[in-house]
Amino acid sequence: MKENTALTVIENFGLPAVNEEMGAAFAEEMDGLTMSFDRVKIPSGGGLAFEVPGDDPDNPAMVKELIGVIVDHHPVNAWWSDKYSGQNNPPDCSSLDGKFGIDVTTGEKKPCNSCPMNQWGSADEGNGKACKNMHRVYVLQEGEMIPLLLTLPPTSLKNLSDYLAKRVVSKGRRSYGVLTKITLKKAVSSGGITYSQAVFSIAGVLSSEATKQAAEFAASIKPMTRSLAVNDDEYVQTREPGEEAPF
């Protein structure tokens, strides 16, 4: 008997309305301020629960899955001249599109694809890159107005790539037109280090009208998501330095 693989169609996801009034409100209230997003953290050591900020910053929630609409996603690169320690040391060079990096000292703009620090074998240890290639994923949960920010380390990029290519785009869908579920699984590096890897699946498909609303919201929020500076704690070292392997 053929398995029923029909996906649930979601007519109303509770997406925030995109209109001039909301835009004016944001412009007025945020005048002179910088927009930020709550950051979801992937645990180290193979943990299976995300750390999600809540109303109490000292007591984040631990959740085993994130479910929402991906309203934006894009690559970011970061390079530290000193060995990365995660202790309040912003990158010496960073890229908000994975294509061109900005040197924080000189302000020089350099292409990432030809940068020596972005080549395999440039890491101090192992055969990886000195520059860390990450990917930001903005997940809008039902009933919320501001998405969560999940920054994927290099070791989770293949899972996202396969999901978008095989489960979303090849089926005639867009990332903002489906409800995505993100979970974690344990993986072990060649050096025996256990780490956490993000896994993606479709939890439902938005209706045509809901997809249209999501597309409008995604377009409206990109000026903010694509201008957010790389944070000093975005990179999650999931393996030994330099061990991230190419796909």
Give the tens place of pLDDT for each residue, 55-68.
887 889 999 999 99
C-alpha Rg value of the chain to the nearest Å = 19
pLDDT at 139 over 60: yes
In a domain, 115, yes or no: no
Largest alpha-carbon pair distance within the chain?
Answer: 64
Q: How confident is the model at residue 196 (pLDDT cuts 50, 70, 90)?
A: very high
Q: Say how far apart CA 213 and CA 152 lie, in whole Å.
A: 26
Which range scores top for mean pLDDT: 20-29, 75-84, 201-210? 201-210
Cα torsion 120, 86, 92, 226: sign: positive
In a domain, 109, yes or no: no
Quote the percentage of the chain above a pLDDT of 90. Answer: 54
- Helix (H) or strand (E) holding 68, with range, is strand 66-79
In a domain, 190, yes or no: yes
The rounded Cα 26 to chain-centroid distance in angstroms is 23
Contact 180, 70 (CB under 8 A): yes
pLDDT at 20 over 70: no
Q: Say how far apart CA 114 and CA 101 lie, in whole Å.
A: 11
Q: Say how far apart CA 110 and CA 74 lie, in whole Å.
A: 18
pLDDT at 4 over 90: no
Angle, CA 197 vertex, CA 165 and CA 77 arms, to 5°: 70
Range with the lowest mean pLDDT among 37-51, 93-107, 117-131, 216-230? 117-131
In a domain, 124, yes or no: no
Q: What is the pLDDT of residue 14?
A: 77
Residue 27: exposed, middle, or buried by beta-carbon count in 10 A (0-12, 13-18, 19+)? exposed
- The type of residue at 243 is E
Q: Say how far apart CA 225 and CA 199 lie, in whole Å.
A: 22
Could you list the residue range(s) of the whole structural domain that residue 214 is in?
Answer: 9-76+133-225
Contact 186, 198 (CB under 8 A): no
In a domain, 26, yes or no: yes
Q: What is the pLDDT of residue 247?
A: 34
Q: What is the pLDDT of residue 184?
A: 97
Q: Say how far apart CA 69 and CA 168 lie, in whole Å.
A: 12
Q: Say how far apart CA 132 and CA 78 lie, in whole Å.
A: 5
In a domain, 41, yes or no: yes
In a domain, 84, yes or no: no
Quote the percentage of the chain above a pLDDT of 70. Answer: 85
Average pLDDT, integer, range 173-179: 96
Contact 150, 37 (CB under 8 A): no
In a domain, 40, yes or no: yes
SS3 132: strand
Q: Quote the number of domains for the chain.
A: 1
